Amino acid sequence: MGMWSIGAGALGAAALALLLANTDVFLSTSQKATLEYLEDIDLKTLEKEPRTFKAKELWEKNGAVIMAVRRPGCFLCREEAADLSSLKPKLDELGVPLYAVVKEQIRTEVQDFQPYFKGEIFLDEKKRFYGPQRRKMMFMGFVRLGVWYNFFRARNGGFSGNLEGEGFILGGVFVVGSGKQGILLEHREKEFGDKVNPVSVLEAARKIQPQTSAAESK
């Protein structure tokens, strides 16, 4: 009876742990970014002679849709990049650019990501687009049913990837209005493969009010 009790107790504890892992109890809480926070982020171009600039340049005139990529080699991130890229014709009609930021540049990872993402990509060395409160999902992600569903969805969609680079710091997607219009959409990835809804991105992009110069307004 003693061994049976120990075994039953262990199974019960494992079942409870699995149940809790599939709730939001232990997920990292996110802190909303402010426009002032995003504006001050330093980004770098990925040219041979990189230029450093403030992130506000990305959306100052026409707003922008920006993906903070968790890991370029991740097939889940490639799937989301392809989803966002499918919006590019409509974003082009609206005059709204599509960008991505990555937190590291390893070998050809960014170059290999580019076929999935149809916008320009920049480097965020200080990982500030992943804040203000940086969130991580460690190995708990591999016991979450939602993550496994996302895995199968992306695999069935024909996406593949690798394990190169840091992949625990969670990413997200922003739609930022022009000038001081503000953040119109902020999607924080809560688990691996938690994609933004493309319809919501497009709805937010339609709210962007492009800045007009003094000459144009006359």
pLDDT tens-digit readout, 94-134? 999 999 999 999 999 999 999 999 999 999 999 999 989 88
Closest by CA position to 56, among listed 215, 211, 216, 169: 211
Mean pLDDT score of the chain: 87
Amino acid identity at 186: E
20-54 confidence digits (pLDDT tens): 455 565 556 778 999 999 999 999 999 889 999 99
Residue 156: the pLDDT is 96
- Of 55, 58, 68, 77, which is the active-site residue? 77
pLDDT value at 1 more than 80? no
Tokens of 109: 């990872």
Distance of alpha carbon 139 from the chain centroid: 19
Domains and CATH numbers, the chain: 27-207 (3.40.30.10)
Q: How many CB atoms lie within 10 A of CB 117?
A: 24
Mean pLDDT of 129-155: 86
Clarify whether 74 is annotated catalytic.
yes
User: Which residues are within 8 A (CB) of 218 and not within 5 positions of it... i.e. 6 or more apart?
Assistant: none
Cα 38 from Cα 15, distance rounded (Å):
41
Closest by CA position to 39, among listed 15, 9, 25, 60: 60
Tokens of 94: 């609206």
pLDDT value at 218 more than 70? no
- Of 41, 43, 74, 147, which is the active-site residue? 74
User: Which residues are within 8 A (CB) of 182 and not within 5 positions of it... i.e. 6 or more apart?
Assistant: 35, 176
- Output DSSP code: residue 136: B
Cα 201 from Cα 87, distance rounded (Å):
9
Q: How many CA atoms lie within 13 A of 77 on its CB side?
A: 30
pLDDT value at 172 more than 70? yes
Clarify whether 77 is annotated catalytic.
yes
Mean pLDDT of 149-172: 95
Cα 3 from Cα 16, distance rounded (Å):
20
